[in-house]
Amino acid sequence: MKLEKKIVSSSLSISSKRVGFSILFIGFFLFSCAEKIADFPKPEKLIPKAKMVEILTELVEIESAAQIKYPIFADFNTVIAQSGDSLLKAKNVSAEDFENSMDYYGSKQQEMIVIYDEVKVKLNKEMEQIRQEL
């Protein structure tokens, strides 16, 4: 029973990661297609890049799991909003600070690409660990 449960959760995690990668690639595409992005000033409470990587990695995982578990859009939206709020609270980050930091990093395309590359590396490492456990 434990093995079966582990395989099911592992396969869900792998599927979740694939969906997350799709989200990342869409993000890269949107950033690369922009001609000129507005330059946002550095916020007073800028979230450090390493912490942004942690938060974005977990948000991708949350979103991927929610897409699988909640195919109804209204349920999905509710879960994402609540889970995102809980994640930010657990990381001691306000929604305003997160949004301001995303705006700032998003206006600096190269910095955002570096952040998303690090998110992708983290997700790949986690997926590799899951594969090794199987």
Q: What is the pLDDT of residue 93?
A: 96
Q: Which residues have C-beta within 8 Å of that of residue 36, sequence separation ≥ 6? A: none
Closest CA to 45 of 87, 88, 109: 88
Contact 6, 131 (CB under 8 A): no
Distance between CA atoms of 95 and 109, rounded to whole angstroms?
21
Q: Could you report the per-residue pLDDT of 32-86, keeping only the tens digit for each? A: 555 556 778 899 999 999 999 999 999 999 888 888 887 777 778 888 888 989 9
Q: Could you report the per-residue pLDDT of 99-132, keeping only the tens digit for each? A: 999 999 999 989 999 999 999 999 999 989 988 9
Q: What is the pLDDT of residue 7?
A: 37
pTM over 0.85: no
Contact 63, 20 (CB under 8 A): yes
Segments making up each domain of the chain, as ranges? 2-133
- Tokens 């000033």, residue? 41
Task: Compute CA distances 123 → 35, 54, 94, whole Å.
Answer: 29, 10, 24
